[in-house]
Amino acid sequence: MKNRIEKILQNRELNLGFLIFILLIIVTIRAPKFLELSNVERIVNDTAILIMVASGQLLVILTGGIDLSVGSTIAFSGMAASMMNQYYPGIPVYLVLLSGILIGTALGAFNGVCVAFGKIPPVITTLGTMSIFRGLTFVMSKGQWVTAHEMTESFMNIPKGRFFLIPNLTAWAILICIIMFYFIRYTRHGREIYAIGGNKTAAHFVGVSEKKVNFMVFTILGALCGLAGVMWTARYAAAVNETAAGFELQTVAACVLGGVSMAGGAGALTGVIMGSLFLGIINNALPVVNLSPFYQMAIQGFVVLTAIVANVLMEQRNEKQLLNRRRQ
């Protein structure tokens, strides 16, 4: 019975689900309409882009890395796609969407080359490219915005509408999650990602290429950032140079909240999805409880720090238990 209770307490997804439940109760007491279907749908839709990008950040963190350039990649890809739509409105919207994804893929691949083949630590690489990509966004746009009256209706409708009663943006997030779940759980590449993050030396002995895995995860994350960039600018009908500034913190927060180890090798997509939803609920609940949106960054930082400390304490406890079992 004691072991069963300990397993339940160590289940991060279950604990996070309980926290979400408590949070919903607290907010609903203040605002009974918070749990209305229309509002729940809006919260999920607002969180869809975070879920998509955080699922890619999961892959990078599982290898023991981190990507701090996701916000800048989103901004550059979104601005490039918006400007293409602005200057060449006759181009089919699916080609504009594809172009944004390819641009994000190229930026992610650049990070991957620096990390995998240049052997530059991920945090240093992406800290540099965060500034480079953001600067290139300013250069490309000449500091100008692309606003709604400069975009075509078909471009702005990409994330809007419904797919079998599901909002398009939410449907995109569901599709990405299904693909990522299959990729992580049922493909050789998914197992290699966990192997590199868990034990690089052992992974090398069984023939796993660290270079290929690192290049792959950064490239995939770049592609998801490209998709997010188009969705972001189309949804808000504005491409600005500061788009997604600080978004990297949210993606890392979603992963850490979901039980992903920053050391690599441990974590699940379900936890990341729940972590994203937890942040989405907090962001939507702030106005309800009369807290300024300016508290958002501080709250996210506190949540990340708390989750990291909890992860470290849990890992230390598991290591002690393992040592005690070996001694017995």
CA atoms within 13 A of residue 136's CA, in its CB half-sphere: 17
Is 199 a member of any domain?
yes
Task: Taking each helix axis as running N to C, give the angle between helix 12-30 and helix 269-285, from 0 to 180 degrees, rounded to the nearest 10.
Answer: 20
Residue 8 forms part of a structural domain: no
Whether 196 is covered by a domain: the verdict is: yes
Check residue 197 and give its pLDDT.
87
Q: Rounded to the nearest 10 degrees, how much is the dihedral formed by the CA atoms of 130, 132, 138, 141?
A: -100
Helix (H) or strand (E) holding 167: strand 166-167
What integer pLDDT is reported at residue 9 of this predicted model? 54
Are residues 279 and 47 in contact, defined by beta-carbon separation less than 8 angstroms?
yes
Residue 1 within any structural domain of the chain = no
Please give the structure tokens belonging to residue 225.
């950032």
Distance (Å, whole) CA 235 – CA 172 = 13
**What's the pLDDT at 155?**
92
Q: Is 163 helix (H, G, I), strand (E, B) or coil?
A: strand
Cβ atoms within 10 Å of 177's Cβ, excluding its own: 18
Question: Is 182 inside a domain boundary?
Answer: yes
Residue 49's domain comprises: 36-327
Whole-number Å distance between alpha carbons of 222 and 74: 9
Running along the chain, 328 residues long, what does each successive block of 10 average in pLDDT?
56 78 84 83 92 96 94 96 93 95 97 94 95 95 90 92 89 96 93 89 86 95 96 93 89 89 85 92 79 71 76 71 64
Closest by CA to 159, choosing from 226, 233, 243, is 233
CA distance 231 to 172: 10
Q: Is residue 2 part of a domain?
A: no
Question: What is the total count of domains within the chain?
Answer: 1
pLDDT the model gives residue 138: 94
The answer to whether 141 and 83 are in contact (CB under 8 A) is: yes
pLDDT of residue 30: 81
Is residue 28 a part of any domain in this protein? no
Nearest-angstrom CA–CA distance, 276 and 57: 12
CATH number for 264: 1.10.3470
pLDDT at 161: 85
CA distances from 108 to 13, 153, 294, 317 (A): 29, 29, 30, 36
Alpha-carbon separation of residue 95 from 24, 90, 123, 146, 160 (angstroms)? 40, 11, 33, 18, 17
> What is the reported pLDDT for 287?
76
Residue 26 lies in a domain: no
Confidence at residue 176, expressed as pLDDT on a 0 to 100 scale: 96
Specify the DSSP element, H or E, that contains 262.
none
Do strands 146-147 and 238-239 pair parallel, antiparallel, or not at all (unpaired)? antiparallel
SS3 (DSSP) at 178: helix
Tokens matching residue 204: 């090398």
Range list of H helices, the chain: 2-10, 12-30, 37-62, 70-87, 93-116, 122-141, 153-156, 168-186, 188-198, 200-205, 210-236, 247-257, 269-285, 296-327
The answer to whether 230 and 77 have CB atoms below 8 angstroms apart is yes
DSSP 3-state assignment of 69?
A: coil
